[in-house]
Structure 1
Amino acid sequence: MSAIPSVDLKDFVSGDAARKEKFTAEIGAAFEDIGFVALSGHFLSENLVEQLYAEIKKFFQLPQITKDSYEIEGIGGQRGYTSFGKEHAKGKKEGDLKEFWHFGQYVENNPKLEAEYPDNVKVNELPDFNDVGKETYQMLEKTAKYVLRALALHLELDEMYFDEWIKNGNSILRPIHYPPITSEPKNAVRAAAHGDINLITLLMGAHGKGLQVKNHQGEWVDAIARTDQLMINVGDMLSRLTNNKLKSTIHQVVNPPKELWGTSRYSIPFFMHPVSEMPLNCLDNCIDEDHPKGFEDTTAGEYLHERLIELGLVKK
């Protein structure tokens, strides 16, 4: 059904050393090859997924004037609502054909980060919206933590290498609405070809055609997950850290065939970010004669700021 390998997180958390090793090898190989996997056995319940979709559909159906009241100036779209066509891919002028919402970190025991991160925005019209968003955020963050533990082992690091950097990290849960297309788009697609900024992305809603991944032969292949799976891909931060051993793959969301223009599409990516201080300097064990160091030293915070400027979300 899809060119993307499938893995089951239950193997990693099973307590069985052979199954754990199998998962680590499978996800490591997939991320070195195409940079994407379809993951089952995650921590999101079916009921929670249904609740979240119900809440975000209600939000995007609110009157535009109501949604606009949740668009917060001066924070680069990090929390709350971002209206249709505001964001564009790096190097593109045309805005993507989407509107979206951002839930951010729920900081625990860290006053410095509480002050650094913008507050989450409460939707007054929908009493369950924020609670369901928070629970989803935390279950996806928990899933991402175990995926990164497997990747740490694959990279011959301590299993907990990423734990200290992702605790209270600057991660974002982004419910996206791609509205029905009403006229021939001029050079615009639902999401233009791009690589993600962060460590890894966990995507809900890759169940129908639309998401495409560029393989090593330069071909676009459909990335389709089962309804019980998350699509997970490597972001540019992890690619830098591993000196491109783990591949951040270019992907896009194409417009549907004309007969389906009248339909909305929803997808919900979770962008796993570390804290700003995390160094993204290439790991020593990913550099050798055949793979010289390919990236300058930087931190996650510096790199994020640079990329948000390129996306048009933050002014220089």
Structure 2
Amino acid sequence: MQVQVVDYTAEDAPQKFVQSLRETGFGVLVNHPIQQALVESIYKNWYEFFSTEEKNDFAFDPEKQDGYFAPEISETAKGHSKKDIKEYYHVYPWGRIPAQLNDEILSYYKLASDLAAELLDWVEKHSPADVAEHYSEALSNMIKDTPNTLLRVLHYPPLTGDEEPGAIRAAAHEDINLLTILPAANEPGLQVQGKDGEWMDVPADFGNLIINIGDMLQEASNGYFPSTSHRVINPTGKGSDKSRISLPLFLHPRSEVKLSERHTQESYLLERLRELGVK
């Protein structure tokens, strides 16, 4: 089963989109409300920021987890020993944001969060009754007034040939949150692992909006919606000397939201951050 590309404006979009999530953990939208011009401007402006030393003035806060994460402290994916080849910045509306980037990135944060709430309504509407009855509250309500939704601006630098053997831009992993909203990056490389174990490219034409399930939705749906492994592979040939900018929005419920009998958002997140070595 391939990841479905769904026209957001089509009458059967909700059903097709949720079917793709169920079968692959991923869905791709076209003709969606997020303007490509805004995404391109964010890519350009944050690439310029990552190219300056100003980024070091915003070094991440270990407690709040906002700010700039340098390559030396980048994530090591669960089950892996080599750090990913990337640097990134954590954007929260309450966090530190460079003044020249503030208005544009927060405008995107709200736009993507509003769309995500609609997509969660699609997921709930097309969940089987025996799955939906276990949601502790409406899925879209779980993110209402949440301070926890994270927008990560990622920069995968050009490859130099000096990378640690076996290291890639993002090793195979699953996301922690409910849903991840991701405009197609300015360079290819995103892959998802199918049920047969084979890796397939996620349709990533510029302008596509890629959505995938995170562990928290898998937990809340008792496994009905799968949080599937995905990765960003290293480019080859001419592509290896290009930067890659990526803009995932990780949709998180409020801390007290009950995901299951075992976990609230807060307890689940702490468990995973410890596993990643960033907490």
Letter in 2 for 1:93: S
Separation in 1 of the partners of 2:188 and 2:106?
Answer: 28
For the pair 1:49 / 2:39, whether they are aligned, the reply is yes
How many residues align? The count is 271
| Cα distance per residue 1:155-177 (max 9 Å; x no partner) | 14499812321012211111100
Change (3 A) 1:313 1:6: same
Cα pair 1:206 1:224 within 8 Å, conserved: no
What is the CA–CA distance in structure 2 between the aligned matches of 1:186 and 1:224, rounded to whole Å? Answer: 28
Aligned-partner residue type, residue 125 of structure 2: L
Note the residue ranges of structure 1 that are not aligned, 5 or more in a row.
Answer: 12-18, 107-118, 282-295
Deviation at 1:246, TM superposition (A): 0.8
Query: What is the match of residue 299 of structure 1?
Result: 264
Q: Structure 1 residues 184 and 83, CA, compared in 2 at 3 Å: closer, same or farther? A: closer
1:206 CA drift (Å): 3.9
Quote how far apart the aligned CAs of 1:207 are: 5.7
Q: Residue 231 of structure 1: SS of its match in structure 2? A: strand
Q: Which residue of 2 aligns with 1:111?
A: none
Computing the radius of gyration from Cα coordinates, the structure with the larger value is 1
**1:194-222, Cα deviation, whole Å (9 max, x unpaired):** 00000000112346431110001100001
By how many angstroms is 1:276 displaced?
Answer: 0.9
Distance 1:163 1:25 in 2: 17
- Partner secondary structure for residue 55 of structure 1: helix
Given the alignment of the two structures, is residue 312 of structure 1 paired with residue 277 of structure 2, yes or no?
A: yes
Structure 1 residues 73 and 173 mapped into 2: Cα distance closer, same or farther (>3 Å)?
A: closer
Distance 1:163 1:188 in 2: 37
The answer to whether the aligner puts 1:150 opposite 2:128 as a matched pair is no
Q: 3-state DSSP class of the match of 2:262?
A: coil
Is 1:133 the counterpart of 2:105 in the alignment?
Answer: yes
Letter in 2 for 1:56: W
Give the ranges of 4+ consecutive aligned residues of structure 1 lying more than 6 Å apart after TM superposition.
none
Distance (whole Å) between structure 1 residues aligned to residue 23 and residue 249 of structure 2? 22
The residue matched to 2:104 in structure 1 has which SS?
Answer: helix
Q: Does residue 84 of the first structure (1) align with residue 61 of the second (2)?
A: no
What do residues 80-108 of structure 1 show as CA deviations (whole Å, max 9, x unaligned)?
1111142110122211100001111x3xx
Cα RMSD of the aligned pairs, angstroms, is 2.0
- Are 2:223 and 1:238 equivalent residues in the alignment? no
Kept in 2, the 8 Å contact 1:177–1:265? The answer is yes
SS in 2 for 1:10: coil
Letter in 1 for 2:103: D
Asked whether the 8 Å contact 2:187–2:244 carries over to 1, the reply is no
* Alignment check: 8 A CA contact 2:86 2:169 kept: yes
The one-letter code sitting in structure 1 at the alignment partner of 2:256 is E
Q: Distance in 1 between matches of 2:122 and 2:186?
A: 25
1:266 counterpart (221, 241, 245): 245
| 1:206–1:53 CA distance, 2 compared to 1 (3 A) | closer
How far apart, CA to CA, are the structure 2 residues paired with 1:73 and 1:149?
33
Contact 1:214 1:220 in 2 (8 A): yes
